[in-house]
Amino acid sequence: MKSTLCVLFALSSLAAFDSAQTPGTTQVIVPCTQPAPAGSIVPQTVLPLTYVDPNNVVVMEMESQQPIGDWVEESIVSGYGGDSYFRWNGPNLFGTPNVDTLTFNFELSAADTYVIRMHVRHDNPDWTEGNDCWVRLDGGTWEKVYNNTGPGSVGVWSFDALYDDTDSLPIHDLDAGTHTFEVSGRSTDFLIDRIHVLPTSIFQAQLSDPQSDVLRARPIIGQTMKVEIDDPQDTFGMTPGVARTAWYVGLPGSSYPCGRPTQFGELLITGPGGGVRLGAFKTWMGPGQPNVHKADIPNNINLVGMTFISQAIMVQPTKLRYAEGLEITIGDI
């Protein structure tokens, strides 16, 4: 990989390095004329999940996590965002936080004063009951967060989830970098849909805001990037244990973001011989069992800001197919 990127750098006519910090980014490129299976090449997710947003507005859907313990995922009560919400199906835990804890990591690019808005609901006819949960920020003290602003708050989705000790929304001065927000059950049947973290200069959370991207293995100089190559729905009809996968990289062609149609699919990359292979071929064991391919990115500041196109292939005797493409912009953060 080191020699590959250096060769491509020498061939590139892209803009020179900018001294400002540049995030490494990836974007899936869908062939224009000959579709490839969705999910045929994706950057590997960094675990645990970390949610990122370039505008420092972070939205985390509950269903992006796996429900654990007494948390259950539902879509019965309308008015939620995304695909579903979580309901605490466990007992009342008024004095016992940190049970079946859900952990949300999020990344901020700038220090600021942030407000945490949770989209929640309670349906107990007694508006003082069934209306709260436990939360904790960055490993601090567990706090009760409640949603009971009066009888009118029953049976209504709301972003008014308040700290019990201050009767105010959670507001914190947060540094740039990764933070952790944890949620655990407190009152039976309390519903939580999503969590927004946004600067107080914006303040209002919008249900129309999409979930933030999940941090994935990013192309950063001096680090290793990994991708997963698969045919999740068996679209290509390859033979498990016989088919092999490979990962190639090249420069954007004249028809970018489209490629060149072939009998094997759409070739998205250009360069010497149609691109340079990154690493060895790997045997594919079947749908839902992706092969992980990796590339060590040189610690070369001249690569920062450059964009490459990569693409996977699946091949076996008498059959070759192109996957989707992955646009890679090299960064230093």
Could you read off the pLDDT of 101-139 as tens digits, one per residue?
999 999 998 999 999 999 999 999 998 899 999 999 999
Confidence check: pLDDT of 271 > 70: no
Could you read off the pLDDT of 6-60 as tens digits, one per residue?
445 444 434 344 445 788 889 999 999 999 999 999 999 888 899 998 788 999 9
Q: How far apart are CA 220 and CA 238, in angstroms?
A: 33
Could you read off the pLDDT of 130-148 as tens digits, one per residue?
999 999 999 999 999 999 8
Outline where the chain has alpha helix (H).
2-11
Domain spans of the chain, in order of start? 2-44+216-329, 50-214
Q: CA 278 from chain center: how many Å? A: 24
Structure tokens at 32: 């224009």
Q: So what's the pLDDT on residue 13? A: 39
* Block residue for tokens 């491509």: 8
Structure tokens at 54: 């370039």
Please say whether the structural domain 50-214 has been given the CATH code 2.40.170.20.
Answer: no
What whole-number percentage of the chain has pLDDT above 70? 93
The DSSP symbol for 168 reads: B
- pTM exceeds 0.85 for this model: no
Confidence check: pLDDT of 273 > 90: no
CATH number of 2-44+216-329: 2.60.40.10
26 neighbors 219 (Cβ within 8 angstroms): yes
Confidence check: pLDDT of 269 > 60: yes
Could you read off the pLDDT of 156-197 as tens digits, one per residue?
999 999 999 999 999 999 999 999 999 999 999 999 999 999
Q: So what's the pLDDT on residue 137? A: 98
Q: So what's the pLDDT on residue 19? A: 46
Could you read off the pLDDT of 237-256 as tens digits, one per residue?
999 999 999 999 988 877 88
Q: So what's the pLDDT on residue 255? A: 81
Q: So what's the pLDDT on residue 226? A: 94
Apex 293 CA angle, 251 and 296, nearest 5: 65
Q: So what's the pLDDT on residue 3? A: 45
- The answer to whether the 2-44+216-329 and 50-214 domains have the same CATH topology is no
